[in-house]
Every structure is written in structure tokens, then in C-alpha cells.
Amino acid sequence: MESLQNREQQEILSRFFKTAPGEYGYGDKFLGLKVPQTREIVRLAKDTPLSEIPELLMSPWHEVRLCGLLLLVDKFESQATGRLTDDEAAIRKRDEIVTFYLKYAERANNWDLVDMSVHKIIGHWLMLPTALGSHGIGLHRDYKLRTLDALARSRNLWKQRMSIVCTWKTSQLGDPSWCLRYAEIHLNHPHDLMHKAVGWMLREMGKRVSTDLLRDFLRLHVHEMPRTALRYAIEKMSDEERRQWMTFKP
């Protein structure tokens, strides 16, 4: 990956991901690779053992960390196919990857690193059997709630983002409860990146599960929602309905 450095692209990415002093990505370093290049490396390196991935995740290079995260996604998805949903060996391998991902969560330290990995690992795990949290194998929703609550209550912005963006997958699979819970928890978050994430996930929940559920949430919270979150949440509605929500009066 280092041999593919692109100086012009480095400068573009450094500006795009806000790496100047005082910005959310301060100190991050880029090789200047485009995402398809990283994905191709992941494809070629898919047999990298789990034991070698920490070296990637601890790298100062943004794209190398992304490579490590995408390798974890690939490993998780290979154990989460329909026929392996209830396979005990696959369940334990998925649990190992989830535990590993959470251990290194702070290394997913920009929004793209979170957004390209968390729903495909943590979000999918929420909907699958697990052996974590108690004796035996089951859905163990209480344990999963505690796991996500710990991310949501963390003081780390990227862990907080994980707790809401992972619900992209749960909404895709038809369960709105995760999105509604963490959207409410983060509703008054001070950071614009979280406003965007909350609105985005609410929009996805409305699209994948029920627009009426989205409307119910908006009726409860429209007056306290940051405008950015509201705009993202209603983005796919008609022009007239968007205007109504932006000027809503009870």
C-alpha cells in the first residue's frame, strides 16, 4: 500500500477528512489511495490471519486501517451466510471478530472507517445468534444492548457514531428498534457528524421498515432535533412534506 502513495491525492484527502489542528481528523495521515484500490488489496489479502490485522489497525496510515477493517468485514460476512446462521463454529468465529472489532474500535477514527465497517459487523451481529454474554447460544438481546450502550455512552466520538450507524443493518433486516433507541439517545449530541448520522439512520429506517414509524418519531422530537438531523431524516419525502416538517407546529 505504501508503494501506491499519491501525493496529490494525499493533499485532497487530508483536506476532505479535516486533518488540520482543531478539526475532527487532526493528525490523520493518508497515503493517497482511492477506496477501490484499498478494496482490491483486501481482495488479494483476504486470507490474512486475524492475528496480523492489529498491525494494520495500529498503522498511522488511514487507508491501511481501512484495509484492516475491511478484512474484518470480509471475515465476518464469510461466517454470516444463511446456511451458517446457526452453525456453532461460525457463531464463535463471528463472536471472535466482534470482540476483536470492539477491542480496536478507537482505531476506526474517522467517519468513513466507521461507516464502511460497523453495520456489516456489529449491526449484523445484533441480528444473529451469539455465545457472548451468557451461557449457551441465543440472541442475548440484553447483552447486545449493553454492548451498544457502552459505545453510545463512550466519550469517544467514533464509538458514539458506531452505536447509531450500526443500525443501518438492523433496519435493512427489518428491526427498527435499534435505530429508534440510539437516535433518541444521540438526539441532542453536540457534533454535526452525529446530527448527520442520526438523520441518515432515521431516513434508512423509514425507507427500509416504515415511513409511519419515522413520522411518529419526528412528531415526538421535531422541536428538539438539530436541523441537520431533521433535513437528513426527511430527505426522501415529498417537497411538500419536507416543508411541513421544517416548519412544524404542534
Tell me how far apart the alpha carbons of residues 234 and 241 are, in angstroms, rounded to a whole number: 8
Q: What is the C-alpha separation between 219 and 225, in angstroms, rounded?
A: 11
In angstroms, the CA 241 to CA 235 distance is 10
**How far separated are the first and last CA of the chain, in Å rounded?**
55
pLDDT for the residue numbered 230: 98
Name the grid cell of 56. Answer: 494494520
Gap between the Cα atoms of 58 and 104, Å rounded: 9
Q: How deeply is 140 buried, as exposed, middle or buried, from its count of CB atoms within 10 A (0-12, 13-18, 19+)?
A: middle
Whole-model pTM: value is 0.96
Look at residue 250 in the predicted model and tell me its pLDDT. Answer: 67
Per-residue model confidence (pLDDT) at position 248: 87
Q: How far apart are CA 153 and CA 165, in angstroms?
A: 15
Residue 216: the pLDDT is 98
Q: What average pLDDT values come out for the chain (250 residues) when binned by 10 residues? A: 96 96 96 98 97 98 98 98 97 98 98 98 98 91 97 98 98 98 97 98 98 98 96 97 90
Q: What pLDDT, on a 0 to 100 scale, did the predictor assign at position 151?
A: 98
The confidence score (pLDDT) of residue 134 equals 79
